[in-house]
Amino acid sequence: MFQSIIDFLMDFGSLGLFLHSFADAVIFPIPAFFLQVPLSLINPSQALWLATVGYIGSILGTPLGYWIGKGLGKSVLYKFLKKEWIEKASTMFQRNGEAAILVGAFTPIPFKVFTILAGCLNFSVWRLIGYAALGRATKFYVVGALFYVYGRAAEGMIDGLKYLFLAVGVVVAIGFLVFKKMRNKKTTKLNPEQQSSSTSD
């Protein structure tokens, strides 16, 4: 059934990718990657345009997925998505929500798991959109750039992309966590100094 939907959307070209990307951030269980690749393969010169259309659709769908999660809770996830996806994403969110979104933007786990979970867990919608914008841009434009530069030869690189995306997501998340930890340490150091100065006053 899902393959039939993807085939149907493919007939509409970039508009189909926009709709797929939007739905990918809301409820559709098949990532937009699986439509972006065949469309880019058909017309590599349009690959960057397709990446842009897919990216915009994904970002516009992100807040809708969030509000679905906020209104309906996890029950909607368990109806449409695999239990292991939800459990992995929940564990990532419990450890660090921002890093979970960044990694989630790259992993094979459908992105709507993260948008809906963010709503379920009352994560900031603006922070969700901000981190989603960073992660999703990377994923869409890496695929687009490969096809734009290498043409149809990029098809042979697609399998390796899955591992590359996961590695990039982990590196970005680790870098973010290190930055956040250093910033927290700096804030902690400043607070005692401010307290001592106010006490002396």
Residue 3 has phi, psi (to 5 degrees) of -65, -35
CB atoms within 10 A of CB 24: 28
With both helix axes pointing from N to C terminus, report the angle between 97-104 and 112-120 in degrees, rounded to the nearest 10.
160
Average model confidence (pLDDT) for the chain?
80
Q: Over 90: is that where the pLDDT of 56 sits?
A: yes
Could you read off the pLDDT of 9-35 as tens digits, one per residue? Answer: 899 999 999 999 999 888 887 888 889
Convert the pLDDT of each residue in 131-178 to its tens digit.
888 888 888 998 899 999 998 888 777 766 666 666 666 666 666 667
Alpha helix ranges (H) inside the chain: 2-10, 14-24, 33-42, 47-72, 75-80, 83-95, 97-104, 112-120, 125-150, 158-200
Question: DSSP 3-state assignment of 123?
Answer: coil
| Whether this model's pTM surpasses 0.85 | no
